[in-house]
Amino acid sequence: MKTANQETLYGKNPQQLAALCLEEGLPRFAAGQIARWLYKRHTEDPAQMTDLPAAVRTRLAQRFTAALSAPVRVSESADGTRKYLFRTRAGHPIESAYIPEAERATLCVSSQAGCRMGCRFCATGRQGLQQSLPAEEILNQIVSLPERDRLTNLVFMGMGEPLDNTDEVLRSLEILTAEWGFGWSPKRITVSTAGVVPQLRRLLDATKVHLAVSLHNPFPEERAAIMPVERAWPVAEVVRVLREYDFTHQRRVSFEYIVLSGLNDTPRHVRELCRLLNGIPCRINLIRFHRIPESPYFSPPDEEMIRFRDALTARGIQTTIRASRGEDIQAACGLLSTQEKARQ
C-alpha cells in the first residue's frame, strides 16, 4: 500500500536519477531518459517509459508513488484571477494564484503549508508551519494547473518562506530552469523572501532568478513589530548582502511594501527607505493591504498610495503601485487555506 511518505520519481534531479539508475543496473544515460519523461512530457508513470526495460519499469512502479495531483478547489475572481487549492500528500491545504494579464500569465506558488515567520499582516503566518513542501509538491502546482501551457511567469510568493525551505526550493528551481528540465529562463521566475540571511547567498549564488524582498518598514523596531524575522535577520543585514551582487543585468531585485495606513507611509518612512536603499538599482512595489479577519491594519485611500509613490519616485527610487487582484475571492496569501482548515 502506498503512503504519503513513499518516495516519488517526480522532483528528482539528474544526480538523484543517476544514483537510481545505478541501483537498478541501468546505464547512466538512462537518467536522461527518465528526466525527459518526467519534465518534458510530464509523465511520472514508469509503465509509460517505454525506452526502459520492462522489468525495471515494474520495479519502479512498485517503488515509487505518484506526485502529481489536480487542485481540489478553485475560486475565480471577477478580474480573471483564479485561486487554486491543492492538497499535499500529507493532507495539508496549500494555495496557488493564477493571475492573467494582457501579455502575461503569472502563477504565485507556495513553498510551505503554513509559515513560521509570523508576519502580523499575513493569514498564512497565523497558521504556523505544518509542512515544508518537497520539490515535487512545489512543481505540482505548476504541472497540474489547468492553465499550465499559458504561463509566462512564476513567483514564489504564496504560502511560506522560500528560504526556510531552501534545499527543496533550489531543487525545484533547478528543474524549472535546466535544459533537461522545464527549460524556463530564470528571468521568468521571482523568489520572494522576508530575509533569511544565511540562505540568501545560497539562492543568489546558485540561481539567476529575480529576487523580491519583503520589506514593509525601513525602521528596525517598527518592522520587528509586524515582522518578527527582523530580530533574527535585520533588513539592514539583508541590504548589505544585496550590495555584494550585481542587479543591473541578468536579474532584478525589488522590495515589496504593503502600505499600512498611518504606520509605514509617512514622510519619515520615505526618507529612511531612500537612505536604506541608496545605491541599489531596485524597484519598490507598493501593495494594498487585503484585510484579514480581526486585523488592526487598513490600506490607505488611493490618493495616499499615490502620494507615497510619488514621494519615493521624486527621490529617485522607481516605485509602482501593484494592481490589486482577486480581493473578492480572498486572493491574499493564506486566506483560502485558512478557510479550508476551518471548514475541516
Other beta carbons within 10 angstroms of residue 298's beta carbon come to 13
- From residue 189, alpha-carbon distances to 26, 60, 176, 252, 310 in Å are 34, 32, 9, 11, 28
| 122 in active site | no
Burial (Cβ within 10 Å: 0-12, 13-18, ≥19) of residue 192:
buried
- Interatomic CA distance for residues 233 and 107, integer angstroms: 28
SS3 category, 130: strand
Q: Scanning the structure block, which residue is given the C-alpha cell 531543487?
A: 171
* List of residues 6+ apart from 294 with CB closer than 8 A: none
SS3 category, 108: strand
Q: Scanning the structure block, which residue is given the C-alpha cell 494594498?
A: 288
Exactly one of 44, 95, 230, 256 is catalytic; name it: 95
Other beta carbons within 10 angstroms of residue 78's beta carbon come to 9
Exactly one of 115, 119, 282, 333 is catalytic; name it: 333
Contact status, residue 292 vs residue 245, Cβ threshold 8 Å:
no
- From residue 37, alpha-carbon distances to 6, 66, 117, 119 in Å are 20, 14, 37, 40
What's at 83, amino acid-wise? K
| 333 in active site | yes
SS3 category, 106: strand
Residues taking part in catalysis: 95, 333
